Amino acid sequence: MRSDLLKVVVAVAGALTLAGCAGAGSSGSGGGGMALHAEETFEIHRPVRVGEVLTKTTRQGETWEREGRRGGKLHFSELRHEYRDEAGALVVTARQVGGRTGRNPDA
């Protein structure tokens, strides 16, 4: 039961960084596109201990495009977050994919 709670806490902490995902939250040069949250995954390498301090580093992952049905071209970008303990050991890896449409599908 404790590991389920831990996964929820880590998931919530990681989800708070989605606003910084490249392509999410702005229409960029697409001119009127809509932002979307496409995918989020977490890999827990070992349990986080109570009171433990983790340091998060974020790096840009892959970017890609595909043709959508209603919103034109879909632009996706990935962020990878690594949470490490004070010894530098990897504890949690989070992957977030944000995207935007080329245009507003309702326009």
Number of structural domains found in the chain: 1
Distance CA 87, CA 65 (A): 38
pLDDT digits 0-9 by tens, 14-61 = 444 333 333 333 434 445 667 888 889 999 999 999 999 999 999 999
Q: Is the residue at 107 inside a domain?
A: no
Q: Is the residue at 75 inside a domain?
A: yes
Q: Is the residue at 106 inside a domain?
A: no
CATH number at residue 95: 3.10.129
pLDDT digits 0-9 by tens, 73-104 = 888 999 999 999 999 999 999 999 999 887 66
State pTM to two decimals.
Answer: 0.61
Q: Which residues contact 61 (CB under 8 A, 6 or more apart)?
A: 77, 78, 79, 80, 95
Report, in angstroms and rounded to the nearest whole number, the Rg of the chain calculated over CA atoms: 16
Tokens of 25: 């939250």
Residues spanned by the domain of 92: 2-101
